[in-house]
Amino acid sequence: MNKGHLAPPRDSRDKWCGGKLPKDYQVELFLRGLTRDSIIYLPTGKGKTLVAAMILKRMADINPTRHGVFLVDRVPLVYQQAERLFEDTGLQIFTLCGENASPKNVRRAFQIPNGSEAAQRVVVVTVGCYINLLNRRSTSISDVHTMIFDEVHHAASKTAGHAFNEVIRQIQSTPQPMRPAVIGLTASP
């Protein structure tokens, strides 16, 4: 795989990350995230969300019939991360959580005519809401090009019942060619 082709071009920053020039370590994590499932461990404020945005943007370009999903475990993070992702990618961002997951909003987020605009959208959603949508068949893991788990350390907590683990089980039960790229973000070792 030609890594130069995958890297964000440094002379066109505005196309990649809202005009932000990624640090070398962020470019390295970006390249790793494009080639294999990864956990991005960086201290708070060191650019985990920027790396995730870069991955989502590039995967959107190379997977035109699928969309990205950014999973969070709390409602305030839905809106916080949606704003950051829009600033950093310019992609169409949809937010879903228990308070706004009306049938109309779910259709707007997931049901795309002809699949033509799928890759240019990311759905930022609470994990509980996403599981409900999967169980009701309002969406499918196989429609996703990249699944970002924000604060993924919760999946490894002593309570194995964290909702992230249910999504991971559903990803594992999806046939390999239809599985999304999986990226975890954490500041906790």
Distance CA 35, CA 28 (A): 11
Distance CA 16, CA 21 (A): 9
Pairing mode of beta strands 181-186, 92-96: unpaired
Contact 27, 8 (CB under 8 A): yes
- The predicted-structure confidence for 63-118, as pLDDT tens digits, reads as follows 888 899 999 999 999 999 999 999 998 889 999 998 888 888 888 888 765 655 55
What is the three-class DSSP state of 188?
coil
Instruction: Give all strands (DSSP E) within the chain, no chain letters.
Output: 38-41, 67-72, 92-96, 121-126, 144-150, 181-186
Backbone angles phi, psi at 124, to 5 degrees: -100, 120
Q: What is the mean pLDDT of residues 42-60?
A: 94
Q: Does residue 5 have a pLDDT over 80?
A: no
- For residue 67, give the nearest of 115, 13, 33, 126 by alpha carbon: 115
